[in-house]
Amino acid sequence: MLMYNNMYRMIFNRRFERVDDPLFVELKRLNGERSRLAQSFEYNYGDFIPILWPFLRKYLELCQKVKDESLRLFNKHFVEEHKKLIRVNPPSHDEKCAIDHMLDAQKNGEITEDNVLYIVESINVAAIQTTLWSMEWGLAELVNKPDIQIKVRDELNTVLGKGVPLTEPDVPRLPFLHAVVKETMRLHMEIPLLVPHMNLHQAKLGGYDIPAESKILVNAWYLANNPEWWEKPEVFNPERFLGAEKIEANGNDFRFLPFGVGRRSCPGIILAIPIVSLVLGRLVQSFELLPPPGQSKVDITGKGGQFSLHIAKHSVVVCKPIT
């Protein structure tokens, strides 16, 4: 709900008050279904073994159905409702949220009505689950590594003062917390193969001929876990980001590309890193984070798919208030 409210405030200036709000429940169902379908390797079978294409019809029909349902829902409950609202009460420039700017662009003929819906739908999918997966991995690592959790808490207490709640402008002053977030994204890269790209024209790259219209998958997880470049890459060790060499997540270093690189890289990096840092930092400030009762560790077995690497089983983490 936290992630939904963050994004929906920015896009529509709306928030959900309750987890059982029927619209929230339906959104979660559709996003979950879309994410499950996108993680499937099914459609790739057809790319590599074209003879299997006819057997994918059911899968593709389901994809179409979920897409149509989400677009209808966004149109009816968000875009049209917002249009009604601003007809009665037009926002001033400072009050405008993302959808107002998209509707302005539509009015100016820069984009179409369909474009507006697709932008809304793709931001919804791209932003929410990826950021949630990072929070889950980070939380699990902090529970399983109490020494690292203590270091994060010590840094917060030293830089901000005990009991002073972490806020967004503080994040750049907390290098260890930032390193924990980057290390989480390195070891558990949420989109391990990035998003498929296609070159329109024939190209030569690193001595290889790449035919036009090739589907390119970048194994960014391996780049960030290649033992030739990373010492003991299988170990969760935030300190590796605190050396003299500054490795950032913004595409300045090909060893670490959790958000991709270049023109089609993730525009959400400027939101995702502060949000994950804030959530993990606030939790560590307020609670001692412990494994589920009767267990010594959170189960961090991962589950991978075409577009994701996330925790396979959800655990209940114990939050013991810090007095």
Question: Which residues bind to ligand HEM, rule: CB under 6 A?
Answer: 122-123, 126-127, 130-131, 134, 190-191, 194-195, 258-260, 264-268, 271-272
* One-letter amino acid of 207: G
126/291 with CB nearer ligand HEM? 126
> Measured from the CB of residue 34, what is the shortest distance to ligand HEM in angstroms?
14
> Measured from the CB of residue 109, what is the shortest distance to ligand HEM in angstroms?
22
CA–CA distance, 304 with 308 (Å, rounded to integer): 6
52/125 with CB nearer ligand HEM? 125
54/262 with CB nearer ligand HEM? 262
160: β partners: none
* One-letter amino acid of 245: E
> Measured from the CB of residue 274, what is the shortest distance to ligand HEM in angstroms?
10
Please choose, from the candidates 24, 229, 256, the residue with its C-alpha nearest in 3D space to the C-alpha of residue 124. Answer: 24
CA–CA distance, 60 with 42 (Å, rounded to integer): 9
156/191 with CB nearer ligand HEM? 191
> Measured from the CB of residue 178, what is the shortest distance to ligand HEM in angstroms?
14
Taking each helix axis from N to C end, the angle separating 175-187 and 269-286, rounded to the nearest 10 degrees, works out to: 110
> Measured from the CB of residue 64, what is the shortest distance to ligand HEM in angstroms?
21
Give how far Cα 122 sits from Cα of 52, 117, 265, Å: 28, 9, 14
Q: Could you please report the per-residue DSSP string of 24-53? A: HHHHHHHHHHHHHHHH-SHHHHHHH-GGGG
268/292 with CB nearer ligand HEM? 268
Backbone dihedral angles phi then psi of residue 310, each to the nearest 5 degrees: -135, 170
178/291 with CB nearer ligand HEM? 178
Q: Is 97 annotated as a binding residue?
A: no
User: How many of the other CB atoms lie within 10 Å of CB of 239?
Assistant: 11
| Planar angle of CA 302, 305, 141, nearest 5 degrees | 25
> Measured from the CB of residue 190, what is the shortest distance to ligand HEM in angstroms?
4
Contact predicate 302/311, CB 8 Å: yes
Q: Report the binding-site residues for heme.
A: 266
Q: Report the binding-site residues.
A: 266
